[in-house]
Amino acid sequence: MPIPQEIIKIKRDGKTLSQADIQQFAKGLTDGSFSDSQAAALAMAIYLNGMSVDEKVALTLAMRDSGTSLNWQGQLNGPVVDKHSTGGVGDKVTLMLAPMVAACGAYMPSIAGRGLGHTGGTVDKLESIPGYSCNQSLSRIRQLLPELGCLIVGQTDELAPADRRLYGIRDVTATVESIPLITASILSKKLSEGLDGLVMDVKVGNGAIMATAEDARELACSIVDTACGAGVPTAALITDMNQILGDTAGNALEVLETLDYLTGKKREPRLHQLTLALGAEMLVLSGVAKDQDSAISALEHSLSSGKAAEYFAKMVAALGGPTDLLEKPAQYLAQAPAVLDVPAPASGYLQIRDTVALGMAVVRLGGGRSHPEQKINPAVGFSGICAAGSPISQGQPLLTVHAANQQDAEYAAQEVLAACAVVAEPVSVSPLLHQRLA
């Protein structure tokens, strides 16, 4: 059995790690036989020299197998699917998609995360619903999914513990951006859900972790090749994040937008387009639908019939939330005491120059964390966000700030005006769907 420094040397010298080497590394992350400095050294060697597809498959499976995996064989009467987004601002698609897909006959056990940097977290959004508990044991997840059809929860200690330790090391050693390590980190958790199919939403643009099309394509290809190599059919869509997705950003505000979407009160066009596109990929990939057109028809029927809203309501109630959230959202979702419109300084067309800055403005309002222990204010954020390229009249609200106090609201308004511009000529807007990879 090789010792840690021998494994590090192989990758340091640009050579290929064997499956046994990688399994030893994953074991070392969980039992402590790899020290933090040794794990950091190997992470840096991987960052500098990359990994082959076979190495990425081996690392993904070894980190998945460092903990417990869900197995649904013989327990469900439909396929198990999930989607994962690389993160952006205002991305609440999972909240809508899980009940829609469940209403179409698939099962979606989504292990979600908290906000990171400028990106919002699905767990944080759901925890803005009073009583909703994302902390569920694997036995409880096994019990609830057959009953509910969809389940959105946080990562448990039993799932991929090797990844949890490695991520903490990467975070402080400048190796977070390594595409092989990003790939294995995402997939070790997703594959532990016992999936029959996975769809990736890889964001690109001035609000995404992957700012260029080349980087986004590299990550999408890496994830698709690795997941398929691990035996899970996977497709990826590269999608635009050059503006906030939907017309809200902030936890309770995004939950309210989700409820409006599911009940048909309001559906922002780009958000609706992306939700249908990802959902169609999931239904076709899992065999629930024979083609894109029939998949989209099924998803639209899940909305128009009210079934998707019913599935969401059942999930919320089963995980400790109110039983009448759909009927009385204002009674349960926190509302900020200070509300301020941000008026356009001129007439023209809206240009979004820095979506990351808009995400960070929400964080500074208290809608995200600047350190892991920070408590989130669920009420703060933005609503009524105008889409990029929209014709704007002077004085028209670009968006509305929701803040804990007037001073915070005014500071956020200045951040919005710095991140946006109103220009005289029409603005070219990036297409929402860039590319599909499978």
Catalytic residues: 82-85, 122, 170, 185, 189-190
257 within 8 A of 249, measured Cβ to Cβ: no
Pull the structure tokens for residue 36: 């933090």
Q: Are strands 381-383 and 391-392 parallel, antiparallel or unpaired?
A: unpaired
201 within 8 A of 278, measured Cβ to Cβ: yes
| Measured distance CA(160)–CA(242) in Å, rounded | 32
| Measured distance CA(386)–CA(389) in Å, rounded | 9
Report how far apart the first and last C-alpha atoms of the chain are (Å, whole number). 37
Give the burial string for 159-187 (b: 16+ CB within 10 Å, else e): bbbbbbbbbebbeebebbebbbbbbbbbb
Task: Return the H-helix or E-strand segment holding 332.
Answer: helix 329-332
| Measured distance CA(356)–CA(336) in Å, rounded | 22
Pull the structure tokens for residue 15: 């050579």
| Measured distance CA(268)–CA(65) in Å, rounded | 40
10 Cβ contact partners less than 8 Å away, ≥ 6 residues apart? 16, 17, 21
Strand order in the sheet with 81-85: 81-85, 197-204, 234-240, 433-437
C-alpha torsion 177→83→354→183, nearest 10? 10
Which amino acid appears at position 369 of this protein?
Answer: R
| Measured distance CA(37)–CA(354) in Å, rounded | 36
Token match 């309501």: residue? 313
> Under DSSP, is residue 339 helix (H, G, I), strand (E, B) or coil?
strand
140 Cβ contact partners less than 8 Å away, ≥ 6 residues apart? none
274 Cβ contact partners less than 8 Å away, ≥ 6 residues apart? 93, 201, 239, 245, 432, 433
In terms of Cβ atoms closer than 10 Å to its own Cβ (0-12, 13-18, 19+), residue 334 is middle
| Measured distance CA(340)–CA(161) in Å, rounded | 43
366 Cβ contact partners less than 8 Å away, ≥ 6 residues apart? 376, 377, 380, 404, 408
Pull the structure tokens for residue 133: 């508990």
